[in-house]
Amino acid sequence: MLLYLDGCSATYVTKGGKRVDASNGEILYVPAGSEYVAEFYGFRNEESSTVNINFLLFDHKGEILNDPNEIERFSVSDAGLFVKELEHVDLSIQQIPSKYNVLIYNLLNAMGDESEKSVTYSDGFELIRDAVEYLHIHYNENVSVSQLSHACNISEVYFRRLFKRHMGCSPAEYRQKLRMEHACRYLKYSESSVSEIAEVVGFVDSSYFIKSFKEHFGTTPLNYRKHTI
């Protein structure tokens, strides 16, 4: 399950002895079959509570996956918006409305992005970290390299050099990569049209989106959807 702390804090101790401290607004990922004890504290008001979202993971054969990982904590921006939307949805079934597929996928993806932040980089990554995180959140915006470098308080030339060194491509190429990744998710997990998806991920012209998608994946968005659903 995903457990969202809404107005309180808690300490979880697993059967294996792992201790996880979580604060208001954070999310815990709790694998199926987990054994733990929890202590709650720091309630902000009478409406403070936890919101649990239970769901099952299936493999490509439709069999339930058993996740061996332990409880993990994440601090995801605007997590409450995702959780409140999903609170009353039954995610234990394999066929649920496509919009909820997208919501849960976006939430898990945001948790993955949060996990990547814990990776330690050297030789200048901290100077561009804010820009990388900004692109992950605002990938569908056309912010310029000049604006990104200014936000990092370094010159544009130095910013481009550091970005290429650590991310393996230019800022524009990285943003395009993010847009394509999100487009794939929408094609797979939503019923939105290609033009609607193009607009959501940041393309003004759907024709250019289709061209870019084909250059990136070697197939059109519709063919991708046809062979992945």
Three-class DSSP labels, the chain? CEEEEECCEEEEEECCCCEEEECCCCEEECCCCCCEEEEEECCCCCCCEEEEECECCECCCCCECCCCCCCEEECCCCHHHHHHHHCCCCECCCCCCHHHHHHHHHHHHHHHHHHHCCCCCCCCHHHHHHHHHHHHHCCCCCCCHHHHHHHCCCCHHHHHHHHHHHHCCCHHHHHHHHHHHHHHHHHHHCCCCHHHHHHHCCCCCHHHHHHHHHHHHCCCHHHHHHHHC
Does residue 108 belong to any structural domain of this protein?
no
Residues pairing with 91 in the sheet: 55
Residue 111 in domain: no
The first and second tokens of residue 11, run together, are 């300490």
Quick check: 99 pLDDT over 60? Answer: no
In this prediction, residues 176-185 reach a mean pLDDT of: 92
C-beta separation of 19 from 73 below 8 A: no
Query: Alpha-carbon distance 10 to 19, whole Å?
Result: 11
Indicate if 137 and 41 belong to the same structural domain. Answer: no
Looking at the structure, do residues 140 and 208 belong to the same domain, yes or no?
Answer: yes
Q: Is residue 69 part of a domain?
A: yes
Q: Are 28 and 73 in contact (CB under 8 A)?
A: yes
**CA–CA separation, 127 vs 147, rounded Å?**
14
Same domain for 140 and 88: no
Amino acid at 140: N
Using the predicted structure, report yes or no on whether residue 23 has a pLDDT greater than 80: yes
- The predicted structure's pLDDT at residue 59: 57
Assign residue 138 the CATH number of its domain.
1.10.10.60
Mean pLDDT of 4-32: 83
Instruction: Give yes or no for a contact between 73 and 46, defined as CB atoms under 8 angstroms apart.
Output: no
201 is a domain residue: yes
Residue 100 has pLDDT above 60, yes or no: no
Domain identity same for 88 and 127? no
Residue 101 has pLDDT above 60, yes or no: no
Nearest to 131 by CA among 182, 166, 107: 166
Q: How confident is the model at residue 102 (pLDDT cuts 50, 70, 90)?
A: low
Is residue 121 scored above 50 in pLDDT?
no
Q: Is the dihedral of CA 32, 38, 40, 46 positive or negative?
A: positive
User: What pLDDT is recorded for position 119?
Assistant: 44
Q: Are residues 124 and 229 in the same domain?
A: yes
**Mean pLDDT rounded to a whole number for the chain:** 80
pLDDT tens readout for residues 134-168:
998 899 999 999 999 999 999 899 899 999 988 88
Do 37 and 13 form a contact (C-beta atoms < 8 A)?
A: yes
Q: Among the three residues 42, 60, 94, which one is the final residue of a domain in this structure?
A: 94
Determine, yes or no, domain membership for 104: no
- Any domain includes 113: no
| Number of independent structural domains in the chain | 2
Q: Residue 126: which domain range? A: 120-229
- In a domain, residue 107? The reply is no
Structural tokens at position 13: 């101790």
Q: What is the pTM of this model?
A: 0.52
